[in-house]
Structure 1
Amino acid sequence: MRLSSPSLLTLIFVAFAIAYLFYSNHKTEPQKVNILFITVDDLNDWIGVLGGHPQAKTPNIDRLANSGILFSNAHCQSPVCNPSRASMMTSLYPSTTGIYFLNPDIIDSPVARESVVMPRRFEKEGYHVNGVGKLFHNAPGINERHVPNYAGHLGGFGPMPEEKISSFPGHPLWDWGAYPDNDSQMPDFKIASWVEHNLSETLSEPFWMGVGFFRPHVPQFVPQKWFDMYPLETLEMPKTISGDLNDISQYGVDITRRKHVSPTHEWVMENDEWKPLVQSYLACVSFVDAQIGRVLDVLEQSSCAENTIVVLVSDHGFHLGEKERHAKRSLWQDGTRVPMIIAGPGIPGGQVCTKPVQLLDIYPTLLDLANIDPDPHHEGHSLVPLLQDTQADWDHYSRVCFGPGNFAIVSEHFRLIQYKDGSEEFYDHRIDPHEWVNVIENTEYQDIISTHRSQIPADRYPILGDGSTGHEAFQAAEENVLTQSIE
């Protein structure tokens, strides 16, 4: 029996319909991206691509930046390890959670413990999650609690010599010099080796891997060969001016100087330790850059290289004489600015974004890149619009705090600092990148200052925890205000 033309067309149509339905129901799901999340402890802007120090040698961080997008105006939420990392991993501000200083952990904050931290969220979404080194604060049990399949600190801040190398008599971690003999003795070397092993093996995909390096955090120890890269006789020193604190309130000085364990700038200068401190910091930066290079190399050689998002950040900045300060714990540019680089599939290479962004933006950004539903409780914003167009409209500010009531608000060109006693600072980075001139009283800036003030939250969660140097510094500044008011 011959089929009529209409019947033949009907059969062909039905066949195509069946095939379409079959392939629609069996089509391959889009491949999920992997996440390689790298943190570097206490790394300021002394890397090649940020230009914080003209002699900094960081070829591996630089090549990562050249393969992705460098956020040159990125800031932490607190200039202290624990609150900065807690904020980054929950996408909640310290003023929301009450985690302002070196304790407590996330689980001890009634607000923060209701959130799902970044590694656990990716685990819930079917990712293989593991990590090594300092991802959260390194107090006992914290990383083990929050990072599935955590591999350990692998030595942390060690190794330590039997006696101090520097002449500084204070806190045992505050030491600097050439030690130990070999890179292989350093925990960061072991961390990179762990990554080499785990990325070179067949790894379950998709994966979220956290890699937390410890240097350049004190003690500033690395083998001699890294010091040899920065001879003292040719070392360039940070740009400073005398009387830099003269236009800053007493509260602003106290909150950064009282009860801190780092050496004062006066001690550093009197004991001729400024150059050795700068040299040791740069040596540590170049050492950790080499370990980052090993991680990038093994990723590039792996089968997952083309489908892996790489994020590199620090937890806060670090002073080396600027503002007459050494260490972290300040609301100035040197204390809050951090490297932030995002590279991977679909992200253009070699671009720089100058918009103000924050560490707590990383979590929602990675959810967005992984096509995972956003968390409505997050206070950060996805950076995907800026990854697509570095000049996209962006009406967000960066917000940093050091205890309730002490805030820095950063925009593309300006910084407002407001302290708990009401005193303020305002800097125009277009003409004053070093923040040497406080223009808070300048009438030309009052409208811009008001706009920045509007970003300071009225609600501040009370301080949780106690006993850390941050708690003590905050309390000392408060007590000094009280004493002055009585007098």
Structure 2
Amino acid sequence: MLIVDDLNDWVGAMGGHPNAKTPNIDKLADQGTLFTNAHAPAPLCGPSRASIMTGLAPSTTGIYGHIEDNNIRKANDKAAHSVFLSEYFKQHGYYTAAVGKVFHQSVADGSFDDFGGRVKLFGPYPEKNFKWDQPKTSTDWGPFPERDDQMPDFDSAHWIANKLKQQHDKPFFMACGFLRPHVPWHVPQKWFDMHPAKDLYLPPYMSEDLSDVPEIARIISDHPMMPTTQWALENGEYRNIVQAYLASVSFVDSCVGIVLDALENSEYANNTAVVLWGDHGYHLGEKDKFAKMTLWERATRTPLIIKPPKSSEKQVSNKPVSLLDLYPTLVKMCGLPENPDTEGKDLTPLLHNPNAPWQHAAVTTYGENNHAVKTERYRYIRYEDGSEELYDHQIDKEEWRNLAGDPAYAQVKQQLAQHLPRVNEKWSSQSQYRGNDYFTTKTEQAGGN
């Protein structure tokens, strides 16, 4: 299981950016099923990963913000009885190993047999920030350090690669959590050189994009610690930021390649499933922000590739799926008994036929009772105060025109609302938030920090 932090669709196989260079991820996509309409349970690392590893939605556990790995099962009664994905494999005879960022900090105690560690925060860092120096964020961009072997992701890739060279007397479940392209966008110069700033395509941007969204949408997506697109344009940094993100993606792609090459050259090449996912998407200027933490497409959509054992057939599915679906899918693929306590949908029917009938939607939750519902055509957002957004991706992929107030779409909204969670647990006192004041107040009310 290969996990890439803050990776949006700027991957060659997904066509999200014409300048993306990701040959290793693309090769994996050519050998398995690429889900082009996959979405995170939450647009923030902590709750998204907690949801994936427990198999429970944020609205079920009350984990809406960051949470200490060892406090996940303290969130509420439902979380207390959860079995982490890796634990479920352990219980069924698997050897488990992990390295890097798998849960939010690293891994929960006892969730893996072996853990190769994770570097603190997201370094290495230069002595002084290059471009951006604000509290509450690691955001900065520019070439640093000098060599790949000074990057934690390089070490993580080789740690897993070495595990694949060893003899294993029972089946294994391994997870490698990469840090890039999470900020700071610092990677060695050679990766920047692959993406000359002057030649880069800039994402579509409309300065009045947020004029037709509800007030609460502007409030909860406001992250003053991050640069805005207007700031980047006025200061001549937009192309430099895009370059740095693309460079970070190309670097982490090379680390993915280290692991995939090791698997291909191992005795396990033909009996090992591979799954790659990002924990959520990321805005690179769209909606006037360089950030995650919104319910719009850029923050919820992320790559998902599943390659079953012995598979080398390329498939593409546009069906709406959630990373919450990973737990039951991997369990089914490996022939283990179903865990009835998980809430995701088994994706194996789409692995057999990527265009199979699929009546489900992907739901992303950002704070208590704020949800986005994504189908093949529409994105419907309902906030805790009842306000709404609706976008028709058939005619508006950029989500520039909010149709929620158009009477012609009343029935569409009604149908999409059927996918909203029926349970919205209170914000768990174990779940904290590092972001804007709106959600900080929520966590304080819940007894968090």
TM-score by length of 1: 0.87
Aligned to 1:345: 309
SS state at 2:167 partner? coil
Give CA-to-partner distance per residue, 1:412-471, whole Å, 9 cap, x none.
111001111211110111111111111112233221211111211242111013652247
Maintained 8 Å contact 1:69/1:353:
yes
Following superposition, the deviation at residue 270 of structure 1 comes to 3.0
Aligned to 2:249: 285
Cα separation, 2, equivalents of 1:445 and 1:204: 58
Alignment of 1:444 onto 2:411: no
Alignment of 1:108 onto 2:74: yes
Cα separation, 1, equivalents of 2:333 and 2:24: 24
Give CA-to-partner distance per residue, 1:214-273, whole Å, 9 cap, x none.
000011110000000111111111111231111111110110005x53223333333222
Give CA-to-partner distance per residue, 1:104-160, whole Å, 9 cap, x none.
531221221211000111001000101100110016xx4444333111014551111
Residues 62, 131 of structure 1: alpha-carbon distance in 2 compared, 3 angstrom cutoff: same
Alignment of 1:253 onto 2:218: yes
Structure 2 residue identity aligned to 1:122:
F
Alignment of 1:221 onto 2:183: no
Structure 1 residue identity aligned to 2:195:
Y
Structure 1 residue identity aligned to 2:236:
D
Instruction: Map 1:131-170 to 2 at 5 A.
Output: 131-138=98-105, 142-154=107-119, 157-170=122-135
Aligned to 1:195: 160
Give CA-to-partner distance per residue, 1:185-241, whole Å, 9 cap, x none.
000000111122111122333000011000000111100000001111111111112
Give CA-to-partner distance per residue, 1:19-53, whole Å, 9 cap, x none.
xxxxxxxxxxxxxxxxxx11000000000011111
Aligned to 1:358: 322
- Please point out which of 334, 337, 346 is paired with 1:370: 334
Structure 2 residue identity aligned to 1:337:
R
Aligned to 1:174: 139
Residues 172, 79 of structure 1: alpha-carbon distance in 2 compared, 3 angstrom cutoff: closer
Maintained 8 Å contact 1:143/1:150:
no
Aligned to 1:294: 258
Maintained 8 Å contact 2:34/2:317:
yes
Aligned to 1:80: 44
Cα separation, 2, equivalents of 1:467 and 1:102: 5
Alignment of 1:235 onto 2:207: no
TM-score by length of 2: 0.94
Gaps of 5+ in 1: 1-36, 480-487
Residues 172, 432 of structure 1: alpha-carbon distance in 2 compared, 3 angstrom cutoff: closer
Maintained 8 Å contact 2:137/2:226:
no
Cα separation, 1, equivalents of 2:354 and 2:193: 38
Structure 2 residue identity aligned to 1:224:
Q
Maintained 8 Å contact 1:47/1:58:
yes
Maintained 8 Å contact 1:120/1:148:
no
- Please point out which of 212, 235, 240 is paired with 1:271: 235
SS state at 2:316 partner? strand
Aligned to 2:9: 45
Maintained 8 Å contact 2:116/2:156:
no
What is the Cα-based RMSD across aligned positions, in Å?
1.9
Cα separation, 2, equivalents of 1:85 and 1:133: 13
Q: How many residues align?
A: 440
Cα separation, 1, equivalents of 2:93 and 2:35: 29
Maintained 8 Å contact 2:3/2:177:
yes
Out of 347-356 and 386-395, give the one that drifted further. 347-356
Structure showing greater radius of gyration is 1
SS state at 1:319 partner? coil
Out of 69-78 and 153-162, give the one that drifted further. 153-162
Maintained 8 Å contact 1:251/1:477:
no
- Please point out which of 333, 345, 364 is paired with 2:297: 333
Alignment of 1:129 onto 2:96: yes
Instruction: Map 1:426-445 to 2 at 5 A.
Output: 426-445=390-409
Structure 2 residue identity aligned to 1:352:
V
Cα separation, 1, equivalents of 2:263 and 2:421: 41
Give CA-to-partner distance per residue, 1:331-370, whole Å, 9 cap, x none.
0000000100000226462110011100010010011011
Aligned to 1:454: 418
Aligned to 2:447: none
Alignment of 1:210 onto 2:180: no
Maintained 8 Å contact 2:56/2:343:
yes
Maintained 8 Å contact 1:69/1:348:
no
SS state at 2:125 partner? coil
Aligned to 1:184: 149
Alignment of 1:324 onto 2:291: no
SS state at 1:46 partner? coil
Residues 86, 478 of structure 1: alpha-carbon distance in 2 compared, 3 angstrom cutoff: closer
